[in-house]
Structure 1
Amino acid sequence: MYFNIRYFLLSVILFLTEAYIATYVHDAFIRPFFGDLLVVILIYCAVKAFINMPVVKVTLLVLAFAYSIELSQYFHIVQTLGLEHSKIATTIIGSYFSFIDILMYTAGAVAIIATEKTAQKLKRHETVTEQQA
């Protein structure tokens, strides 16, 4: 069994942040754009907390999942399932397709890969520095 406390704690923090944004932030930027970027990072961290897979592979799987949710919005899945009156369903699944959301999910994936690559470089640098000491 695999468990990574760092990713787990990050996913909890990101979930709480997303819940706060969904509940209290009703603006034209943070909720519609930054929230979409963060949700990809949240799902990535949640997966990495329990599954030890390469960064790019997990990122692409999460991105495909996010795209599929957005595509389901294009086909009005909330209405098809009869959940249009459920605030929880419309908040989690969403109720309308937006190409901007796809861009924000992609930006989240790019942020993940850039952050992970930077962290790997720093870790390698620390290891080299410790070996030289």
Structure 2
Amino acid sequence: MKLKFSLKYFLLTIVIFFVEILIATKLKDIFFVRAYLGDVIVVMLLYTFIKSFFCISNNEKLILGILIFSCCIEFAQYFNIAEKLGFQPGSLMYIVIGNSFSWIDILCYAVGCLLLYLYVKIQPIQKASD
């Protein structure tokens, strides 16, 4: 792993970030989108953000690391970590960290990581056919 800026992944990060904001603000009343799709997409946001600044040759390990990180954050929510860190309900960090544990969220993170894994596996096939 070495430090290397990637404009492609950085632009993808910005697009996915705006999609997440759109989900949280404008599509919040559509239950499926807010409750599930946002959690599927957030692991993709983490992936593109990391790939924006680091050249990582083993994408599978990166995806696994993102899944583990996401699960750790979710389990921290079980222990009300945002409140214990002193963040006020409604504050940006309180929202980012989250405040309620859900097994469904972990499943959504796994689905997002599975989609990333499939993308990474298909990517070399596409390059070979170009």
Q: Which is higher, the Rg of structure 1 or of structure 2?
A: 1
**From 3, 14, 18, the counterpart of 1:12:** 14
d(CA) in 2 for partners of 1:9, 1:116: 18
CA deviation profile, 1:37-91 (whole Å, cap 9, x unmatched): 0000000001011111121011111111111110110111112123242331232
Kept in 2: contact 1:83–1:90 (CA 8 A): yes
TM-score under structure 1 normalisation? 0.88
Kept in 2: contact 1:84–1:90 (CA 8 A): yes
Kept in 2: contact 1:22–1:91 (CA 8 A): no
Question: After TM superposition, what 4+ stretches of structure 1 lie above 3 angstroms from structure 2?
Answer: none
Q: Does 2:120 correspond to 1:116?
A: yes
Q: Secondary structure at the match of 2:55?
A: coil
Structure 2, unaligned runs of 5 or more: none
Kept in 1: contact 2:88–2:94 (CA 8 A): yes
Kept in 1: contact 2:83–2:94 (CA 8 A): no
Map 1:1-133; keep pairs closer than 5 Å.
Answer: 1-26=3-28, 27-53=30-56, 54-126=58-130
How many matched pairs? 126
% identical equivalent positions: 35
RMSD: 1.2
